[in-house]
Homo-oligomer: A and B are copies of this chain.
Amino acid sequence: MTLSQRIHDEIEARILAGEWGPGFRIPTEYELTEHYACARMTVSKALSQLAREGYISRNKRAGSVVTRPHTQSAVIEIHQVRDEVATLGLEYDYRMRRSTIRAASGDEVRRFGLDAGTIWREVVAVHVAGKRPFCLEERLVNLAVVPEAADAPFEREPAGSWLLGHVPWSAAEHSVSAEGATALAAESLAIAPGSPCLVIERHTRHADRFVTWVRLTYAGGTHTLVARFAPARPDLPGGS
- Chain A positions near chain B (C-beta within 8 angstroms): 2, 4-5, 8-9, 15-18, 21-22, 41, 45-46, 49, 52-53, 55, 68-80, 83, 164-165, 168-180, 194-199, 206-207, 218, 220-221, 223-231, 233-234, 237-238, 240
Contacts and interface: CB of A to CB of B under 8 A. Distances in A.
A71 to B, nearest CB: 6
Contacts of A73: 75-78
A238 B21 CA distance: 24
B230 A75 contact: yes
A77 B70 contact: no
Nearest to A41: B41
A4 B196 CA distance: 49
B220 A177 contact: yes
13 contacts: A4-B238, A5-B240, A18-B168, A49-B238, A69-B168, A69-B170, A71-B83, A72-B78, A74-B172, A176-B224, A177-B225, A178-B178, A178-B196
A230 B121 CA distance: 26
Grouping DSSP codes into helix (H, G, I), strand (E, B) and loop, the A interface class, with mixed when no group exceeds half, is mixed
Nearest to A171: B229
Contact of A52 (B195, B228, B234): B234
Contacts of A226: 173-176
Contact of A174 (B4, B195, B206, B227): B227
A179 B234 contact: no
A109 to B, nearest CB: 22
A74 B72 contact: no
A228 B173 contact: yes
Contact of A227 (B18, B173, B195, B234): B173
B75 A233 contact: yes
Contacts of A21: 168
A88 to B, nearest CB: 15
A180 to B, nearest CB: 5
Given A22-B168, A234-B230, A225 B175 contact: yes
A231 B194 CA distance: 34
Contacts of A175: 224-227
A136 to B, nearest CB: 13
A183 to B, nearest CB: 15
A10 to B, nearest CB: 12
